């Protein structure tokens, strides 16, 4: 029996050397310490042996079982480690390899310019309000001194949506009428309204059937044209740089009297003349004026007590000038590269 146990040990040792895979582990376990393994079998015949011998053999077989179990688990660990290491080395990441380029989105330039306007106006106590793009003829035209059949309506080639009552607003000025009516002639008004407007223009580098205006309206006591000039001057210096000079040219709008075109000195050539300002030294950025007597009256304000000014900046125009964009369609073609380029310009 003793020799048999020694033989088991020798056999086991030589089997162990050849163990390479997890399946080999399963097999060797079954062969020696499994239910029908040769070491398990040892104890089965013991009851027929005399107690003295049985004790000795018992000890020996326990020893061999302990030895075999330990050796197998060592081997098992070795194999598992080897498998893990191979897996890790296969999955290793070479951090020195160049990465895949990630294209970050960037805020739209137009949106940025609108936000700049909002920030400056809010710092001067203006509220930012919204108005519908699908507008009634009444707000878009009639309350602004443009009754049906008025020839000046033709200048704003309008998209009518339903009959002649519902349209895509051709400017953001209807918001003036809406805000004044909502206040019922009782409170001062100080708002800006950035938003989209639509006209039946053929799209080209400087025209788009959809564009953005930043409307503004102030109604209070003793508001004069000089207040408009002062406000616009401060705003433009903040938005386009401290050297910016503002110029008003006489103009005509049905809802303001007097009316003006707002020009700023060309920040590219500082008034010397270049291709951005078409050699005039000035750039037009919007229309404005003192709110017309009839508009105040029609919108519930007593023109003898109240007065105001209104303006409309062309947002794309301001953005094009600020970022040197030569084609208005740039804003409406979704091309990430454009905004990324401008984003970087801004950072530098």
198 or 253: CB nearest ligand PHE? 253
In whole angstroms, the minimum distance from the beta carbon of 98 to ligand PHE comes to 51
Question: Do 261 and 284 form a contact (C-beta atoms < 8 A)?
Answer: yes
In whole angstroms, the minimum distance from the beta carbon of 164 to ligand PHE comes to 20
In whole angstroms, the minimum distance from the beta carbon of 287 to ligand PHE comes to 3
281 or 287: CB nearest ligand PHE? 287
28 or 218: CB nearest ligand PHE? 218
Q: What contacts 47, CB < 8 A, 6 or more positions away?
A: 54
> What backbone torsions phi and psi does residue 165 show, to the nearest 5 degrees?
-110, -35
Segment 282 to 311, residues that bind ligand PHE, using CB under 6 A: 287-289, 310-311
Q: Is 148 exposed, middle or buried (0-12, 13-18, 19+ CB in 10 A)?
A: exposed
Segment 311 to 340, residues that bind ligand PHE, using CB under 6 A: 311-312
Pattern 237-266, binding to ligand PHE, x per CB under 6 A?
Answer: ----------------x--x----------
Over its C-alpha atoms, the chain yields an Rg (Å, rounded) of 43
In whole angstroms, the minimum distance from the beta carbon of 261 to ligand PHE comes to 9
- Per this entry, what is the length of the chain? 348
The sign of the CA dihedral 325, 331, 332, 336 is positive
Does residue 75 sit in helix, strand or coil?
Answer: helix
43 or 251: CB nearest ligand PHE? 251
Does residue 280 sit in helix, strand or coil?
Answer: coil
In whole angstroms, the minimum distance from the beta carbon of 338 to ligand PHE comes to 26
Nearest residue to the partner ligand PHE, using Cβ: 312
| Binding footprint of ligand PHE, residue count (CB under 6 A) | 10
Cα distance between residue 212 and residue 197, in whole Å: 6
21 or 182: CB nearest ligand PHE? 182
194 or 287: CB nearest ligand PHE? 287
Instruction: List, in sequence order, the alpha helices (H) in the chain.
Output: 2-17, 22-32, 38-44, 51-91, 109-123, 137-140, 174-183, 225-240, 293-298, 315-323, 336-347
114 or 288: CB nearest ligand PHE? 288
Task: Assess 112 for contact with ligand PHE (CB under 6 A).
Answer: no
- Token code pair at residue 347: 């950072």
8 or 299: CB nearest ligand PHE? 299
Segment 35 to 74, residues that bind ligand PHE, using CB under 6 A: none
Q: Which of 65, 112, 169, 171 binds ligand PHE (CB under 6 A)?
A: 171
> What backbone torsions phi and psi does residue 182 show, to the nearest 5 degrees?
-70, -25
Q: Which of 61, 173, 244, 246 binds ligand PHE (CB under 6 A)?
A: 173
- Helix pair 51-91, 2-17: axis angle to 10 deg: 0
Cα distance between residue 53 and residue 1, in whole Å: 10
Residues forming the site for ligand PHE (CB under 6 A): 171, 173, 253, 256, 287-289, 310-312
């Amino acid at each position: 029996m003793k020799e048999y146990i020694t033989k088991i040990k020798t056999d086991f040792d030589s089997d162990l050397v050849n163990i390479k895979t997890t399946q080999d582990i399963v097999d060797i376990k079954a062969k020696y310490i499994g239910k029908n393994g040769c070491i398990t079998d040892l104890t089965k015949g013991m009851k027929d042996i005399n107690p003295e011998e049985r004790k000795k053999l018992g000890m020996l077989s326990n020893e061999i079982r302990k030895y075999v179990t330990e050796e197998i688990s060592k081997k098992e660990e070795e194999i598992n480690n080897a498998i893990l290491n191979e897996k890790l080395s296969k999955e290793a990441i070479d951090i020195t390899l160049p990465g895949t380029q990630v294209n970050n989105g960037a805020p739209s330039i137009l949106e940025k310019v609108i936000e700049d306007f909002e920030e400056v106006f809010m710092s001067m106590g203006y509220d930012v309000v919204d108005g519908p793009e699908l507008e009634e003829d009444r707000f878009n035209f009639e309350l602004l001194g443009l009754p049906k059949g008025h020839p000046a309506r033709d200048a704003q080639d309008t998209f009518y949506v339903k009959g002649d009552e519902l349209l895509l607003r051709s400017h953001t000025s209807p918001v003036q009428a809406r805000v004044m009516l909502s206040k019922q002639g009782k409170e001062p008004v100080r708002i800006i309204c950035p938003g989209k407007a639509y006209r039946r223009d053929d799209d080209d580098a400087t025209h788009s059937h959809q564009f953005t205006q930043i409307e503004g309206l102030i109604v209070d006591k003793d508001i004069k044209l000089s207040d408009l000039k002062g406000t616009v001057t401060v705003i433009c210096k903040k938005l386009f740089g401290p050297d910016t000079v503002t110029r008003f040219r006489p103009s005509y709008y049905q809802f303001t009297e007097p009316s003006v075109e707002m020009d700023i000195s060309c920040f590219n050539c500082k008034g010397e003349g270049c291709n951005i300002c078409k050699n005039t030294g000035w750039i037009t950025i919007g229309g404005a004026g003192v709110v017309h007597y009839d508009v105040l009256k029609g919108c519930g304000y007593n023109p003898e007590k109240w007065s105001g000014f209104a303006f409309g900046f062309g947002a794309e125009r301001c953005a094009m000038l600020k970022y040197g964009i030569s084609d208005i369609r740039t804003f409406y073609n979704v091309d990430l590269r454009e905004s990324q380029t401008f984003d970087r310009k801004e950072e530098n």
